[in-house]
Amino acid sequence: MEVPGAGRNRRIGPYALLGSGRTVGGGELFAARTDEGLLVTVTVAGPETAANPEFRDRLRAAVEAARRLSGTFLVPVVDADADAPVPWVATRFTAGLPLRHAVDRHGALGEPALRVLADGLARALAVLHGAGTVHGEVDPDSVLLTMDGPRIGTLGLLGATASPPPSPTDDMFGLGATVLYAASGGEQDTDALPASLREVIGGCLYPEPSDRPRPSSSSTTWSIRGCPHRKADGCHRR
């Protein structure tokens, strides 16, 4: 496929793009490598996103914040260029299968895997929200399933630069919708949620944002411990 800004040699900045990409949020995501052979993942902004006059300023701020973050379940930003003809962000290459692909190919996840997924995403969001940042694109396309648990990037290219910006409660809704997608095989059927997750994931999906839980910095196991509105369970109402 033709990649805007990549030229005939299929390069973005110092990175050679490998294979075809996939659409994630407001851009296209590619595996890539440096001339020295270092593997990364490059997300290239889509034409509509890049044409937004405020996008580049917001992207610079989002990348600066993301560079300061690290966590077991987060994929760190390693490079970016908000001033390129087509802006891009590079993250550390992480071997894994996008959650949507995993569910499409193999069906719904079982309860143990769902608990790992929910807890990993909660831990990742606790780091992001604790630092005052928001992902903005928590969905089955942005979550990778790896041998060591789920992974998600430190920023969503479109979500982190949207106007108006997303809020932590939007991330929590995304967490709930993502876990529900994995539990129901893509059918979004809340009856598919195991009893151990039904209350807290249901809380993430409340229509009123202020009623949704948020992960607490004092406990990152809220997603497998129960009620989203009890502070003792590591989560409380905003």
CA distance 233 to 145: 26
Q: Which has more confidence, 216 or 56?
A: 56
pLDDT tens digits for range 224-235: 444 334 333 334
Q: What are the sequence ranges of the domains in the chain?
A: 11-92, 97-237
CA distance 178 to 186: 9
Q: For residue 35, which phi and psi values (nearest 5 degrees)?
A: -65, -25
User: Given a cut of 90, is residue 146 above it in pLDDT?
Assistant: yes
Q: Return the CATH architecture of domain 97-237.
A: Orthogonal Bundle (1.10)
Question: Which pLDDT does position 16 carry in this prediction?
Answer: 94
pLDDT tens digits for range 159-207: 666 777 889 999 999 999 999 999 999 988 999 999 999 999 999 999 9
Q: What is 11-92's CATH number?
A: 3.30.200.20
pTM of the full predicted structure? 0.84
Half-sphere exposure of 129 (CA within 13 A, CB side): 23
User: Given a cut of 80, is residue 66 above it in pLDDT?
Assistant: yes
* Same fold for the pair 11-92 and 97-237: no
